[in-house]
Amino acid sequence: MRIGVTYDLKADYLAQGMSEEDAAEFDSDVTIYAICDALAGMGHRPVRIGNVRRLAERLVTGERWDAVFNFCEGLKGVAREAQVPALLEAYDIPYVFSDPLTLALSLDKAMCKRVVRDAGVPTPDFAVIARLEDVARVRLPYPLFLKPVAEGSGKGVDSKSKVTDAAGLKAVAAALLARFAQPVLVETFLPGREFTVGITGTGADAEVLGVTEIVPKSGYVGPGYGFENKLEGWEEKLDVVTAPPAEAAAAGAVALAAWRALNCRDGGRIDVRCDAGGAPQFIEVNPLAGLRPEHSDLCFIAKYAGLTYDQLIGRIMASFLRRHPELARRRASG
């Protein structure tokens, strides 16, 4: 099959003057080459497309693909991750990973938490500060944890994210509102262990690929797995280890329930953190999880599960093809 690959290349945005933090969610050439090589190894013909504007330009000229491996984070708006799949649906082109509704919902952490909470998945109590006046209406017990409502890659999470009083709440909320120009999510702080759950598949076929634990070291910054802890040299700040069986089973059950409630597809990652009693709770989902070899959490999870990078991409593609049996039949017939 001829498979287009959509993505946002980090180098392009850095060249335009964007900061490392602003461009944190975007991908390196290493990642795109690895994805394309894996697809080619399965007998597909990968075609690099680029971001949503490049996709739109090529669609208008009449170019088409049998399917698209959509790895595009988007640039503008709270629904930015939904732009490519929405455009592909308009042109009736199948694509890998979740649909526009799920991608828009999952990026807005507060809306996402409302859905998983309604589905019975445990998640910390929370409030949303859309403007500074909303601080006075927060009725959650301290300590609290603050972060932007619609960012990824740990952006906005640092040593100041945990607050212990009203003055701290107001100061950090004001700084985040000014810095990210979007609402602030305020959650009950969970003091327990932090896990990352890798999932492949869709719906009833979804399964836990593996669970890793984030173990802070002396250089760890702040109380959470934030941006500074994910930069190059992260090995000096934390260890990523296979979670013990009992903890992995508990975290995996919470993550899988959230994955299904949100209708996530094909592959991704869910972050889970434990409360003071050790019970795991849903923090957030990444349905377009990083796929940089030897760097991204989902790749570590796959490696610990005994899978090569190509096998991980193979599992994701297998889930996609189960959703599109017509493509699987076409491929089988040559």
User: pLDDT by residue (tens digit) across 264-323?
Assistant: 999 999 999 999 999 999 999 999 999 999 889 999 999 999 999 999 999 999 999 999
Q: What's the pTM? A: 0.93
C-alpha distance from residue 154 to each of 119, 136, 257, 259, 294 (Å)? 25, 26, 23, 20, 19
Which one-letter DSSP state was computed for residue 27?
B
The secondary element (H helix, E strand) that includes residue 272 is: strand 267-274
Residue 331, pLDDT above cutoff 70: no
Place 211 in a pLDDT band, splitting at 50, 70 and 90: very high
Residue 231's pLDDT is what? 59
Which one-letter DSSP state was computed for residue 243?
P
User: pLDDT by residue (tens digit) across 65-83?
Assistant: 999 999 999 988 889 999 9
Residue 87, pLDDT above cutoff 70: yes
Q: Within a 10 A sphere around the Cβ of 302, how many other Cβ atoms?
A: 24
Q: Tell me the C-alpha distance between 136 and 139, whole Å.
A: 8
Residue 232's pLDDT is what? 63
Q: Tell me the C-alpha distance between 163 and 146, whole Å.
A: 8
Virtual CA dihedral for 159, 161, 167, 171, nearest 10 degrees? 90
The SS3 call for residue 220 is coil
The SS3 call for residue 275 is coil
User: pLDDT by residue (tens digit) across 129-141?
Assistant: 999 999 999 999 9
What domains, with CATH codes, occur in the chain? 2-97 (3.40.50.20), 125-188 (3.30.1490.20), 194-322 (3.30.470.20)
Place 16 in a pLDDT band, splitting at 50, 70 and 90: confident
Those residues whose C-beta lies under 8 Å from the C-beta of residue 78, and which sit 6 or more positions away, are: 104, 107, 108, 150, 182
Q: 20-51 b/e with 16+ CB inside 10 Å = b?
A: ebebbbbbeeebbebbbebbeeeebebbebbb
User: pLDDT by residue (tens digit) across 317-329?
Assistant: 999 999 999 887 7
User: pLDDT by residue (tens digit) across 121-173?
Assistant: 999 999 999 999 999 999 999 999 999 999 876 788 888 999 999 999 999 99
Per the DSSP assignment, residues forming a β-bridge with 282 are 272
Residue 253's pLDDT is what? 98
Among residues 131, 18, 149, the alpha carbon closest in space to that of 157 is found at 149
Q: Tell me the C-alpha distance between 278 and 248, whole Å.
A: 12
Strand order in the sheet with 95-96: 45-50, 2-7, 67-71, 95-96
